[in-house]
Chain A
C-alpha cells in the first residue's frame, strides 16, 4: 500500500537554483495539498488542488508554483530557491468529503544554502 509518495526525501539547493518536488497518490483522491513545516509555525498550506487541472493558493504561495497534470500527481516547483524556503515539505491527499482525513507523504527536508 503505497499511499502518498514524495520524492526526494532530502535535498540541498544553492540559492537561485530550481527544483521540483514530486508527489503521487494511488488512492484515487481528488484533493491534494502541499504544506511547509517550520519550527513553531505548524503546517502552512502552500497550494491546494481540488481536482485535476485546478489549483488554489494557500497561506504561503509566494515563490512556489504547482502543477496538477492528472489525478495522481501534484508537483511543487521552486523556480529560484531562497534560504527562506528551507523547510520540511509535506504532500497530502484526501477524498472530497469533509469527514475524511488527509493522508500524508513522508516529507521532503529541503535546505537552501
Chain B
C-alpha cells in the first residue's frame, strides 16, 4: 500500500532563513509523482512543486526546491529565504499508477510558522 509520512507536526523558522520540511514515502509502483501543497489559514490548497520518480534532477520552483532521494524514499521540501507569508500547513502527496488507477494520497502535514 502507498503511504506518505511527515514526521514534523510543527516547525518554526526565522524570517529570511531556509527551512526543510521532511517527507518520506512508501510505494511499490515504478512510476510515481511526488507533490507538495501549501494550505494557508484561508483554507485553499495551493500546488507548489512536483518531482517525478524518473526525474534525474531535483525540482525547483522559485524559492521552493525538492530534495529527492529515491533510494531513501524521501522527498523533502526546502524553502529558501522564508517569508512571513510562508506560514501555513504544508502537505506532501504522492500519486502512483497501477494500471489506470492513480490515487493521490497525502501526508498529515507540517505546520510552518515563520517568525519575524
The CA-CA distance from A45 to B94 in the complex, in Å, is 12
Indicate whether A26 reaches chain B with its CB closer than 8 angstroms: no
Q: Given A40-B108, A42-B109, A98-B95, are A48 and B103 also a contact pair (CB < 8 Å)? A: yes
Contact of B31 among A51, A59, A98, A103 (CB under 8 A): A98
Indicate whether A43 reaches chain B with its CB closer than 8 angstroms: yes
The CA-CA distance from A103 to B85 in the complex, in Å, is 21
Number of interface residues of A (CB under 8 A): 29
Q: 0/1 per residue, A88-99, Cβ < 8 Å to B?
A: 101010101011
Closest Cβ–Cβ distance, residue B31 to chain A (whole Å): 6
Report the contact-size class of chain B (Cβ under 8 Å from the partner): 20 to 34
Q: Given A31-B102, A96-B100, are A101 and B107 also a contact pair (CB < 8 Å)? A: no
Closest Cβ–Cβ distance, residue A105 to chain B (whole Å): 9
Closest Cβ–Cβ distance, residue A51 to chain B (whole Å): 8
Q: Given A31-B102, A33-B104, A58-B103, are A98 and B97 also a contact pair (CB < 8 Å)? A: yes
Q: Which residues of chain B come closer than 8 Å to A104, judged between CB atoms?
A: 44-45
- Determine whether the beta carbon of B50 is less than 8 Å from that of A101: yes
Indicate whether B18 reaches chain A with its CB closer than 8 angstroms: no
- Determine whether the beta carbon of B45 is less than 8 Å from that of A50: no
The CA-CA distance from A88 to B41 in the complex, in Å, is 13
Closest Cβ–Cβ distance, residue B13 to chain A (whole Å): 21
Closest Cβ–Cβ distance, residue B73 to chain A (whole Å): 16
What are 25 pairs between A and B in contact, CB < 8 Å?
A31-B102, A41-B108, A42-B91, A42-B106, A43-B106, A44-B106, A45-B104, A45-B105, A48-B103, A50-B100, A50-B101, A56-B101, A56-B103, A59-B105, A94-B95, A94-B104, A98-B32, A98-B96, A99-B52, A100-B33, A101-B50, A102-B35, A103-B47, A104-B45, A107-B44
Instruction: Enumerate chain B interface residues (CB-CB to A < 8 A).
Output: 6, 9, 31-33, 35, 43-45, 47, 50, 52, 91, 93, 95-97, 100-109
Closest 9 CB pairs of A and B: A42-B108, A104-B45, A43-B106, A101-B47, A98-B33, A42-B106, A42-B109, A99-B52, A99-B33
